[in-house]
Amino acid sequence: MKAALLLSGSGVYDGSEIHEAVLSLLALQEEGFTVQPCAPDIDQYHVINHTTGTEQTEKRNVFFESARIARGNIKKLEEIRVGDFNALVMPGGFGAAKNLTTWAFQGPEATIVPEVKSLILDFLKAKKPILAMCISPVVVALALKDSGISANLTVGTTEEKTPYDIPAIGQGMASLGAQVSMKRVNEFLFDEKNKIITTPCYMQDAQIMEIRNGILQAVRKLKQLVV
């Protein structure tokens, strides 16, 4: 079993959420997957100082920063072929909404990196499962825009503490044709028809143990769809 892990930088505010990415690597290996991290070779939208939230003047590249999480074992997105993999896994972090798409700035009017859109559609067409965490279901929703496919997706719940406007994000995804449900950090949503698993992770104000458990459960479900 082989999974492609789509990264979007390294750091929650301008790239991949690091805990989600590392705990994905761990859970996937625990459940028997070989993992190939990948990322697009594009500039980050911007660089955020993670202590203050302020924008820095420097430039960084999504592929090179993602390589930090992957310890150098990373491929450019353009090299990834759906035929070589059994599943696609997408951690969250603002990189999904700033680098892979422009959702953070434009909501459902956002653009999506063409290679990211193609990758997601290729997995769907091949009936190979996708696991999208945290905010990355918006990337799936954008990829499916005008595709005629309506996926069931979650980006979290208002029933648990969250720093984000979950209903607004859900409405944006619904405007693109998705069906949106609320799920807690210890739950995942399973779209059986499209083989898409989504789980909230740090969309909730959660602790790392909860992220670990949410990802492990979701990866176990992913494995059932592959085996």
Selection from 162, 54, 165 nearest residue 107 by Cα: 165
- Cα 217-158-90 angle, rounded to 5 deg: 40
Convert residues 154-193 into a mask of x (bound to a second copy by CB under 8 A) and - (unbound): ----------------------------------------
Tally Cβ neighbours within 10 Å of residue 220: 14
- Reading the block at residue 193, the tokens are 């028809």
Distances (CA, A) of 38 to 21, 108, 160, 166: 12, 25, 32, 28
Convert residues 13-32 into a mask of x (bound to a second copy by CB under 8 A) and - (unbound): x-x-xxx--xx-xx--xx--
Does residue 189 sit in helix, strand or coil? strand
Convert residues 57-76 into a mask of x (bound to a second copy by CB under 8 A) and - (unbound): -x----xx--xxxxxx-x--
Contact call for residues 196 and 130 (beta carbons, < 8 A): yes
Using CB under 8 A as the binding rule, whether residue 49 contacts a second copy is answered as yes
Which of 12, 100, 120, 173 binds a second copy (CB under 8 A)? It is 12
Residue 38 appears among annotated catalytic residues: no
Q: Which of 97, 134, 149, 225 is catalytic?
A: 134
**Rounded to the nearest whole angstrom, what is the least distance from the CB of residue 37 to a second copy in the complex?**
11
Positions marked catalytic: 134
Binding site for a second copy (CB under 8 A): 10-13, 15, 17-19, 22-23, 25-26, 29-30, 49-51, 53, 58, 63-64, 67-72, 74, 202, 207-209, 212
